[in-house]
Structure 1
């Protein structure tokens, strides 16, 4: 990306407040109206230091507490990307109340230290070896006086980070080391934050036309994490007990005020900066994160649907492979056919109507799924006897049969009712989930070419959590007894989500599966957590998570009295009736579904990347029996929300009719059968400039 949306970025990070509490402050609410407020913005984890670390490293670096990492972290950060850039970019981190002479840098055995109210846990740059041991880099750590000096000398760097001190960032009551504030933690400390920010911005004449900041500076006002307790309950296992939703506002001379409702977190901000300055990525959670495309005037929109020329079939699926769209259909004679399309459906290269019989696929049942990576496309189906069959497609060998997953111990459960398939990141293979006719749910991982081998199937049995507002008491039931057809898989960065319907209610829930070692965390014992909170890799979560949209209405300030009386944010669970579709584009999972008897197709999105997979069931009941066998759920899907549900214009369908999506040519391609129609329609969606959307 060559065109910059901003020439400088200034990040200001405050402490420990839920978005709704911050918006109770008149100054912070007014500031949100002067910029772009991210209404669905989230922290990454708890406690504070984890969010600071992830904001510059794109991962947690196995940090799970507020203690200074020892030894220093060896991972790369945004600093490495900036200094490697050929554009001669500069960076600096300004730490309020930091005094370099209190702990002068030295070439050997230099250890950053606190000197209150400056603390190193809020200075993420002090945790990385290649910054701390490098004198030139360490000298880029400055204080508030250095900020004003650089500003007056027209020397503000392209990347600037500012951490207010422990009083100005609202961590502690001014002049103390106490955050209880007589039991009214949120309003008192938010007022304190707002007072400092108002004074800081007044010195900058910001926001406004006479700002002293360099032209085209993006100012990001955000929080590390959300905290719901009116005061810390030091004796409890769980200090943070709700969604990690934070106040985030973007301000600047080129910002048009408004609201953005897509989900974002600290990885999204990091990705936005990388995109803007053409830095590449750290190849961690930043690589596949979504970013602030609206700063470039782009937003996601669905185009009007068009006829595909395809006749109605029993079932279909689609994926992108080798710059072609691969469409597989189950015809009414129970034969599988496939079609390949390259280019655009409106261009001369369109050949989606050219149908070919799929070889080797005999006696096909109703269930099949299709997925592809850079090396091969994989088709898994159940035959008329309910047995699994697998076909692989590549350019060298065309279609061919490959190994099938080994049978489970109970041969009566090998007959397939439904299944889905997803490609793993970095061509690492595929993940298959299938349900037998006996009701059991199994998962198996396929290594892909050249081995083409399956791992032994794993039976999925998990704990179902009730919604946050009901206390999240874990109920021990197996997933297979809670699955209502259908279910779908989708990948978001390093995470795989298995989304399914709960019985009778059709409320959607999901499991998570982490594929990345850098999202595996061994949790240290601290005031917040312990080994029971470890996060896993290459395994399914030990809890399922309801798909929730967290309400925007903040609780009244008068209600913030005690933890027992303190209201949690409202939540709305997502509901899907009949078949639904999931697909990912630019770091955003799109869920298309119907609700109730309404034929109008609905859409919701999820884009909180880098979520963690707990090894034990999640519970927020600190006094519940067996609490040592539960996880606090920090950084998991339990603390992240989906976007508000919106209708997809012009699309009406029967909820039980086939529906599928593919990511092709940087767009989502939706295939569906319209209500009462005998043909298949196509609807494309993607990120476009508003002028382009008006032309379609």
Structure 2
């Protein structure tokens, strides 16, 4: 009897959504907010060089070889471009999602409840300079802008939506703005936006903990992905000038290189490139840099500044990417920072300063608010590098890079 009561209490506890490390929101509170918080779905039509929409769909913790061998991912790769040299930037999951939004890990080496201060800009600040509509779609997120640590499946009490897989919710510059919070929605809202033809031009999709392979495997996740995305690939509105990136947050085996299998799909992929491979060196930071180059946006002045551009955009701008010798590249750790708890990096109380006076790979300089916020400071790292390194801690200092040969 005692064990049954304990199990029931544990199940109830797992339904609670943690708003901060010390306080919780009840299921009743969540239900109330789900009926009162309205999603916000802005639209825009800003023309880009190579695509007019970029949608990212992230999966979890699969080694390159296992993903590349999956039959469903092979089929999807045949419809687009397989990126065979794209790297996650560290371990575990959360710092990679953080990097995808803000161009830095800030030393994060954990999946804890994290908040990045409001004076740190993100990709949405770049998009907002040209009023490019953006949004996130997080499967089973209970209501728009939910800031809790997790939201469990209400039937099985298994992990479902988790904060650590939501890039923008980590940033106070997003969550302190109620309109921005309402642009972070769930998959039901995606279906509504699709039906109402109100999709944004930039969107980040995270499936739940079952469908993203975290609590299952690549066979299950790739089968789910193919069934979910196949109808979208025949939807004229969804596909119109759209580039879709299918990727993973990190590999599973930490002693490996953290190379992750990725695919570009969509009508923005030229017909002659379908079924091909691109072996250019990329990281998660390359996606931010590519967005900036595609729409003529500035840089955050962090690791997006020097990151290689996806070739389909680099070829439009004339930018020559770097060949990076990955033999000594180690992206399984990270440099010191204020979000470290000492597991795979060292704690430092200092938030890193971005570069403020570089043109960057996108060619449009640094975001104005970044230049104003950090005026008179020196950058903490050489953010113009195509890969992250830190000379003080010896992180990736032996890695070399040279411009690609024509």
Same fold, judged at TM 0.5 (above): yes
Task: Say whether 1:89 aligns with 2:121.
Answer: no
Which consecutive unaligned segments of at least 5 residues does structure 2 have? 1-45, 153-159, 353-359, 363-384
Q: After the TM superposition, which residues 259-408 of structure 1 pair with which residues of structure 2 at under 5 Å, given as runs?
A: 259-295=277-313, 297=315
The separation in 2 between residues aligned to 1:279 and 1:299, in whole angstroms, is: 13
CA contact (8 A) 2:338 2:347 kept: no
Is contact 1:63-1:521 (8 Å) kept? yes
What SS does the aligned partner of 1:137 have? helix
Residue equivalent to 1:203: 231
Give the structure 2 partner of residue 529 of structure 1. 344
d(CA) in 1 for partners of 2:71 and 2:208? 22
Distance 1:130 1:586 in 2: 25
Q: Indicate if the aligned counterparts of 1:113 and 1:120 stay in contact, CA closer than 8 A.
A: yes
Aligned to 1:153: 196
SS at structure 1 position matched to 2:230: helix
3-state secondary structure, aligned to 2:69 = coil
What is residue 253 of structure 1 aligned with on the other side? 267
> Where does residue 610 of structure 1 map in the other structure?
388
Contact 2:290–2:313 under 8 Å retained in 1: no
Q: Which residue of 2 is the match for residue 162 of structure 1? A: 205
CA distance in 1, matches of 2:392, 2:73: 35
Tell me, yes or no, if the aligned pair for 1:73 and 1:127 is still in contact at 8 Å: no
**SS state at 1:100 partner:** coil
Query: Which segment is superposed worse, 111-120 or 66-75?
Result: 66-75
Q: TM-score, normalised by structure 2?
A: 0.68
* Secondary structure of 1:6 counterpart: coil
Displacement of 1:52 in angstroms is 0.6
- Alpha carbons of structure 1 residues 534 and 26: separation in structure 2 relative to 1, 3 Å: farther
Shift, 1:77, TM fit? 0.2
Preserved contact between residue 215 and residue 253 of structure 1 (Cα < 8 Å)? yes
Cα deviation, residue 71, structure 1: 6.4
Q: In 2, Cα distance between the equivalents of 1:511 and 1:227?
A: 17
Quote how far apart the aligned CAs of 1:84 are. Answer: 2.1
Alignment partner, residue 144 of structure 1: 187
Name the structure 1 match of 2:249.
Answer: 224
| SS of residue in 1 equivalent to 2:220 | helix
Matched with 2:155 is: none
Please state how far the C-alpha of 1:289 moved relative to its aligned partner: 1.3
Q: Which one of 210, 219, 232 corresponds to residue 191 of structure 1?
A: 219
Flag the 1:145–1:81 CA change in 2: closer, same or farther, 3 A.
same
User: What's the offset of the Cα at 1:531?
Assistant: 3.5
Q: Is the 8 A contact 1:9 1:217 kept in 2?
A: yes
Q: CA deviation at 1:83?
A: 1.4
Q: How far apart in 2 are the matches of 1:242 and 1:63? A: 19
> How far apart are the structure 1 equivalents of 2:61 and 2:328?
28
User: For 1:170 and 1:20, how far apart are their aligned partners in 2?
Assistant: 15
Instruction: Return the offset for 1:190.
Output: 0.1
Hey, what's the Cα distance between the residues in 2 that align with 1:133 and 1:64? Answer: 25
Q: Is the 8 A contact 1:112 1:126 kept in 2?
A: no
**In structure 2, how many angstroms separate the alpha carbons of the residues matched to 1:30 and 1:131?**
37
Q: Note if contact 1:48-1:225 (Cα within 8 Å) is conserved in structure 2.
A: yes
Contact 1:42 1:245 in 2 (8 A): yes
Q: In the TM superposition, what whole-angstrom CA distance separates every residue of 1:545-571 from its partner, at most 9, and x where no partner exists?
A: xxxxxxxxxxxxxxxxxxxxxxxxxxx
Contact 2:89 2:96 in 1 (8 A): yes
Aligned to 1:129: 172
Distance 2:71 2:400 in 1: 26
1:215 aligns with 2:31: no
Q: How does 1:42-61 map to 2 (within 5 A)?
A: 42-61=87-106
State the distance in 2 between where 1:510 and 1:25 align.
Answer: 28
Q: Alpha-carbon deviation of 1:29?
A: 1.4
Q: What is the SS of the residue equivalent to 2:89? A: coil
Decide which of 72, 88, 108 is 1:63's aligned counterpart: 108
CA deviation profile, 1:293-342 (whole Å, cap 9, x unmatched): 3346569999xxxxxxxxxxxxxxxxxxxxxxxxxxxxxxxxxxxxxxxx
1:301–1:287 CA distance, 2 compared to 1 (3 A): closer
Larger of the two Rg values belongs to structure: 1
Higher strand proportion: 1
> Are 2:114 and 2:170, in contact at CA under 8 Å, matched by a contact in 1?
yes
In 2 relative to 1, CA 73–14 (structure 1 residues): closer, same or farther, beyond 3 Å? farther
- 1:171 is aligned to 214
Larger proportion of helix = 2
- C-alpha separation in 2, matches of 1:218 and 1:81: 18
> How far apart are the structure 1 equivalents of 2:266 and 2:201?
14
Instruction: Give the secondary-structure state (helix, strand or coil) at the position aligned to 1:98.
Output: coil
Aligned to 1:250, the other structure's residue is in SS state strand
Alpha-carbon distance, 1:133 to partner: 1.3
Aligned-partner SS, 1:131: helix
Pairs aligned (count): 316
Deviation at 1:62, TM superposition (A): 3.2
Cα distance in 2, alignment partners of residues 274 and 77 from structure 1? 12
Matched, 1:14 2:59: yes
What's the offset of the Cα at 1:284? 1.0
Deviations 1:44-66 (A, max 9, x none): 11111111111111111332211
Distance 2:317 2:295 in 1: 20
For residue 246 of structure 1, give the secondary structure of its aligned residue in structure 2.
Answer: strand
Provide the C-alpha distance between the structure 2 equivalents of 1:32 and 1:288, rounded to a whole number of angstroms.
27
TM-score of the aligned structures, taking structure 1 as reference length = 0.41
Q: CA deviation at 1:250?
A: 0.4
Taking the aligned partners of 1:301 and 1:59, their CA distance within structure 2 comes to 23
Measure, in 2, the Cα distance between the counterparts of 1:522 and 1:247.
30
Q: CA RMSD in A?
A: 3.8
Corresponding residue to 2:150 among 108, 114, 131: 114
